[in-house]
Amino acid sequence: MTSAFFALFAALTAVAPPGTPDAAALLRDSDRARGGLAEGVSWTLTVESTEEGTSTRRTMDVRARNTDALAETTAPPRKKGEVILFNDRNLWFLKPGLRRPVAISARQRLQGEASNGDAASTNYARDYTGTVVGDEIVDGEPVWKLDLVARSKDVTYDRIRYWISKRRRLGVKAEFLTVGGDLFKTATFEYGNRVRIPGGQEIDFVSKMTIRDAMGAGGTTVLTYESPRAETHAPSVFNVNNVVR
């Protein structure tokens, strides 16, 4: 608690480097490339996790619109039809044979090192208070380093250290911390996809997120984003009662 307080205090009182951009604007821009599009977007997500020599794989069709998302498992066959619905900050899990959805948490593990919240579109601009705390070089690329503190308890992580490319304004690396400030997961991002959004503009879109366990056995989970496309989704798609039916 004390370390978290001091980290927050340090982040808030840090002297920003000259020409520091607005953290909220940086987060908004980087969110777009991770599914946080108001207009709607779809992609196919493959989650492959390796833990203590055991590998598992799951494929999901994800539809996202603003802060809502619907992730439906298509493989393996015995998991087919399982759905995670992100309705604003409410999360529901459904599967064939259940009369009612199960209210779940964004923090619960989806598979391997990936939390449920990792499978959906990213809305760090909404969920976190960001502060630019410095600039560094990551893989030869100049980046802004941000400290993100959760605005509420129902988001996926309490604290994030986030590195955003200065030129591309895309998140390239993240460290996920407990409320006490302990590092427990790291992630790197690649942007090999392009999406044409309404208005004709083409933007970079995430193609790979690699999550590594920083505390335990060193498990790795790779989220691969394929076939991203801008699509219009009606709000009713994300209504839990419609999904149950």
Partner 1 sequence: MTGAWRLAFRNLRRHRRRNVVTGVAIALGYMGLVVLGGYAGWAERLIRTGSVYMQHRGHLAVYAKGGLKRAEAKPSAYALPPETQEKIVAALRADPRVAHVGRYLIGSGIVGNGCKSFAMRAVGAEPDLERRLASHPEMIAIWGRATGPVSGRAFFDAPGAEAPVVVAPRLARALEKARPSPGGVPATADAPLDCGAPDVRQRLAADPFVQLGARTADGSFGAAEAQVVGLYRPASTEEDKTALVAPIELLQRLYDTDRVTYVAAFLRDHRDRAAVERDLAVRLRDAGVDVSIHRFDDPVANPFYAGTMAFLGALVLFVVLLVANVVAFSVLNAMTLAAIERSREMGTLRSLGFTRTQVRGLFLRESALLTITSVLAGAAFAAAAALVVEAADVRFEPPGSGTPVHLQFMPAPEVFLGTGGLFLVLTLAATFIAVRRKVRTPVAELLVEVAA
**Beta carbon nearer to partner 1, 78 or 167:** 78
Choosing from 30, 42, 59, 111, the residue that interacts with partner 1 (CB under 8 A) is 111
Give the type of residue at 167: R
To partner 1, the closest distance from the beta carbon of 240 in angstroms equals 8
**Interaction between residue 59 and partner 1 (CB under 8 A):** no
Q: Is residue 185 a contact point for partner 1 (CB under 8 A)?
A: no
**Residue 113: CB minimum distance to partner 1, A:** 9
Nearer to partner 1, 129 or 210 (CB): 210
Considering only CA atoms, which of 140, 174, 141 is closest in space to residue 159? 174
Find the shortest distance in angstroms from Cβ 164 to partner 1: 30
Question: Rounded distance, CA 38 to CA 16, Å?
Answer: 30
Between residues 100 and 167, which has the closer beta carbon with respect to partner 1? 100
- How would you class 101 by CB atoms within 10 Å of its CB: exposed for 0-12, middle for 13-18, buried for 19 or more? buried
Among 52, 77, 167, 200, binds partner 1 (CB under 8 A): 52
114-115 vs 128-138, strand pairing mode: unpaired
Residue type present at position 34: R
Which of 10, 25, 75, 103 lies at the binding interface for partner 1 (CB under 8 A)? 103
220 forms part of the interface with partner 1 (CB under 8 A): no
* Residue 241 structure tokens: 């009662």
Q: Which phi and psi (to 5°) does residue 11 adopt? A: -65, -40
- The answer to whether 75 contacts partner 1 (rule: CB under 8 A) is no
Are residues 210 and 24 in contact, defined by beta-carbon separation less than 8 angstroms?
Answer: no
Q: For residue 135, state whether it binds partner 1 (rule: CB under 8 A).
A: no
What's the CA gap between 22 and 44, in Å, rounded?
A: 32
Instruction: Please name the amino acid found at residue 60.
Output: M
Q: Binders of partner 1: how many residues, by CB under 8 A?
A: 27
227 binds partner 1, rule: CB under 8 A = no
Find, among 43, 181, 176, the residue nearest to 107 by Cα: 176
Summarize as ranges the residues that interact with partner 1 (CB under 8 A).
49, 51-52, 54, 56, 58, 79, 82, 93, 95, 97-104, 108-112, 116, 241, 244-245
